[in-house]
Structure 1
Amino acid sequence: MNTLGILHFDAFLLACIALNLTPGLDTFYILTRSGREGRGVGMAAALGINAGCIVHTLAAVLGISAILMTSALAFSVLKYLGAAYLVWIGLRMLVARSGARQPTVTRGMGLAAAFRQGMLTNVLNPKVALFFLAFLPQFVSMQAAHPQLGLLVLGLSFIGTGTMWSMVLALLGGHIHRLLTTRPRFGQWMDRVCGTVLLGFGVKLALQGRH
């Protein structure tokens, strides 16, 4: 760890666990996908979200995320793309017919779609990029021989804890899914609530600033 410049790795892992357990868009999205479409789809969405975290980690290591901190235009473009994507997903949930939401629709291609959507909801959120840029360097000494590798190790460690918690959420959503298959009317109401919440996340993202 010395050549990588990693500081207080145990405290970092505790912080990762606390952050992962804090409910947010990722938590809600995984529970929504697995609750409505099954455990497998929820796991695909979870893997997509954590793949997005890999993108943010590499961006932080390479210094690309710093552009979002210094360029208001770059931040705004990514922010509005992410907000529009969340609003689009929310609207689809609100207007889709009940028959289009049956679990059989998500087989095969649905797993890829869940992965892709999960990844995009994460990658297109500039707040996540700035979080990685601000959080990881706190636990790395920039005077070390290979601080960039230290940032990469920390980022992958964060993703590791996040992936484990995401799988737990997907399994929990799978239990909800089994309940919804016996109560389709409840599932329709869940779609409306989830679609509304995703719309809210999109509006909130659109209104957020860099700080």
Structure 2
Amino acid sequence: MSLEYILTSFVVILLPGTGVLYTVAVGLGKGFRPSIAAAFGCTLGIVPAALASIIGVAAVFHTSALAFQILKYLGVAYLFYMSWSILRSGNALGVSGEERERSLYRTVLDGVLLNVLNPKLSMFFLAFLPQFVSPNSENATYALLLHAFVFMGLTLLVFICYGVTASLTRDYVINRPKVMAWLKRGFAATFGALGVKLALFES
């Protein structure tokens, strides 16, 4: 595995996207442990896209307009749902102490769904992974799996850093209701904007 692949993956993962936004929002609203759960969920959500690109299923989305559109609009609906959920939450982005343990599973699930329902992710892997693995290699499938696994590991590491950083500033933010209210509106608007962007995305 080349250093070029690791550095390129690292740069791609660092770029703010849906997963980063979600992990930071959870870190600010719910604290350290939920932010780890969010990072873990977003990483798990990469698995279907990575496997799809490796076995060629992602190519179906590239050639089948119907399959692509169905998945795309499921993703759009979920992003709008996330936006609405943030706006309607009574305690800004957070939950009460007794609900926190129970909410960890939901946090993981939301992170998984955000990536699973994003067809752009499978397109990304379809275009990204083959650039670093020779198709003539005897162990091409193994190499693709290894590259995908490394990408997921880097994703988990970077997202944990994002989440922990956000959770460290939580006390500052949560003690200032006006700041928290504006953050809630900002995150809700951003999820909504991402939904619109995904709706306009063409394969």
If the TM-score is normalised by the length of the shorter chain, which range does it land in? over 0.9
Matches within 5 A, 1:65-84: 65-84=58-77
State the match for 2:12 in structure 1: 19
CA distance in 2, matches of 1:196, 1:40: 25
Alignment counterpart, residue 40 of structure 2, candidates 21, 30, 47: 47
Where in structure 1 do 4 or more consecutive aligned residues deviate above 6 Å? none
State the match for 1:110 in structure 2: 103
**TM-score (norm: length of structure 2):** 0.94
Q: Does 1:121 align with 2:114?
A: yes
Q: Does 1:183 align with 2:176?
A: yes
Counting aligned pairs with the same residue, the percent is: 32
Q: Are the equivalent residues in 1 in contact too, given 2:78–2:114 (CA < 8 A)?
A: yes
CA distance in 1, matches of 2:94, 2:18: 21
Q: Secondary structure at the match of 2:21?
A: helix
CA distance in 1, matches of 2:93, 2:18: 24
Q: Structure 1 residues 101-110 or 58-67, which shifts more?
A: 101-110
CA distance in 2, matches of 1:99, 1:19: 30
State the match for 1:35 in structure 2: 28
Gaps of 5+ in 1: 1-5
Q: Are the equivalent residues in 2 in contact too, given 1:36–1:103 (CA < 8 A)?
A: no
Q: Secondary structure at the match of 2:169?
A: helix
State the match for 2:157 in structure 1: 164
- Measured after TM superposition, the shift of residue 99 of structure 1 is 7.3
State the match for 2:143 in structure 1: 150
Kindly tell me: are residues 100 and 205 of structure 1, through their superposed partners in 2, closer, same or farther at Cα, counting changes over 3 Å? closer
Kindly tell me: are residues 99 and 167 of structure 1, through their superposed partners in 2, closer, same or farther at Cα, counting changes over 3 Å? closer
Q: Deviations over 1:43-62 (max 9, x none)?
A: 11111111011221111112
- Measured after TM superposition, the shift of residue 106 of structure 1 is 4.5
Q: Structure 1 residues 37-46 or 93-102, which shifts more?
A: 93-102
**TM-score (norm: length of structure 1):** 0.91
State the match for 1:3 in structure 2: none
CA distance in 2, matches of 1:117, 1:75: 21
